[in-house]
Amino acid sequence: MNSTFTLEDLANPINDMPSTLVLSISLKARDGKSFSMPPFLYYAVKAKLLSRLNCKSEEQAMKDRNINIKDEAIRLIRNRASNFFSQVRLKNIDVSKYASSHIQAQILGDILNDIKEDDYSEIMKRPAISLCVTRAKKNVTVQPFLMDRLSDYFQLERNARRFIHELTVQVKSELEQNNALDEKRKILGIAGNSSWSRKVQNKAFLHLIKNSDIKELHKKQSILNVELNRDRKLEIDK
């Protein structure tokens, strides 16, 4: 991965981005929380901010607007997470297992300008969805909020599942073309920094953005093409 990249680059399964980023928040001095998220969602928040400012790069945003895009993106994400943890504390709900997934769902809603109504009663009931993709001979997992989004887009969950199958086959093909798979379908080289599932999810996130109606998609500095700086300190090595 180059020092700067776009969301299109990030959806390429050959890149060396890891599967996960982690952010910490402090609700009170004695009550710190942390949550993980796919790098794609974090960088999509940054890309949307840049597009909204009509800036091609993070350097331009600092130079012309005196705005640090990294700091602003982290602030927005942490505010979303803080609100979530505050709400579940008030409702006395144990969300230790699914907190990150729910926060990710809200962040995706922010990106797509389509926040779903919170239903905290469902938090404990939504494990990741596993799919066996026979054409690629791989099992991949999809977060329930992502499957919900795709099901809404394709109108039926079975259509969304079929789409995930197609994306997995695409990932397999691209990895094979770049000699990044061994005979047991283990990912080789720097592409192995992220999992099969994350590579498929990245393509699904990109699809949702490309087919959304957000204004940042069609601006001169499109959310798809702005140049993003890599924030390695947030990454979790595989």
Q: What is the pLDDT of residues 170-225, one digit of tens each?
A: 999 999 999 999 988 999 999 999 999 999 999 999 999 999 999 999 999 999 99
d(CA 38, CA 24): 15
Count up the domains in the chain and report the number. 1
**How much is the pTM?**
0.92
Asked if residues 221 and 57 have their Cβ atoms less than 8 Å apart, the reply is no
pLDDT of residue 31: 62
Range of the domain at 199: 4-236
- Segment 32-51 mean pLDDT: 92
Give pLDDT, residue 226. Answer: 98
